[in-house]
């Protein structure tokens, strides 16, 4: 009886992180697929979920920003690139890309405001 209880406890302890990792990975796969078929709004939600499941997956932040940029939602894109820069490594390719994207977005927002 004790052996059965110990085995069940071991399975519960080991299965929970595995199930969470599997779900996190499936969310990421779904996000990539949705982005590839231009279902941008759904992809954004999935990338946000992927980041929430794994905060070390910081490229989800820049991907959310890029998706917003593709939708021409420059304010949200700027917000998400800035979130990315808070956790990204300065000097990395991703950091440099986000920095250049922010410059571009600020220009677009300025031109949009000036045109009104």
Give the tens place of pLDDT for each residue, 19-73: 455 666 788 788 888 888 879 999 999 999 999 988 999 999 999 999 999 999 9
pLDDT of residue 4: 57
Residue 27, C-beta contacts closer than 8 angstroms, at least 6 positions apart? 46, 49, 50, 53
Q: Does residue 5 have a pLDDT over 80?
A: no
Residue 59, C-beta contacts closer than 8 angstroms, at least 6 positions apart? 94
Output the pTM of the full model. Answer: 0.76
Residue 71, C-beta contacts closer than 8 angstroms, at least 6 positions apart? 40, 41
3-state secondary structure of 75: helix
What are the chain's domains?
Answer: 25-115 (1.25.40.10)
Measured CA to CA, the distance from residue 97 to residue 107 in angstroms comes to 16
Mean pLDDT computed over 82-98: 96
Question: Which residue in the block uniquely carries the two structure tokens 């939602």?
Answer: 73
């Amino acid at each position: 009886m004790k052996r059965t209880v110990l085995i069940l406890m071991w399975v519960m302890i080991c299965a929970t992180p595995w199930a969470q990792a599997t779900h996190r990975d499936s969310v990421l796969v779904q996000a990539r697929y949705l982005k590839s078929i231009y279902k941008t709004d759904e992809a954004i939600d999935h990338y946000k979920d992927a980041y929430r499941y794994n905060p070390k997956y910081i490229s989800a932040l820049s991907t959310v920003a890029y998706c917003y940029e593709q939708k021409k939602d420059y304010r949200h894109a700027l917000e998400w690139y800035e979130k990315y820069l808070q956790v990204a490594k300065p000097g990395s390719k991703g950091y440099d890309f986000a920095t250049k994207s922010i410059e571009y977005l600020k220009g677009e927002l300025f031109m949009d405001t000036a045109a009104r």
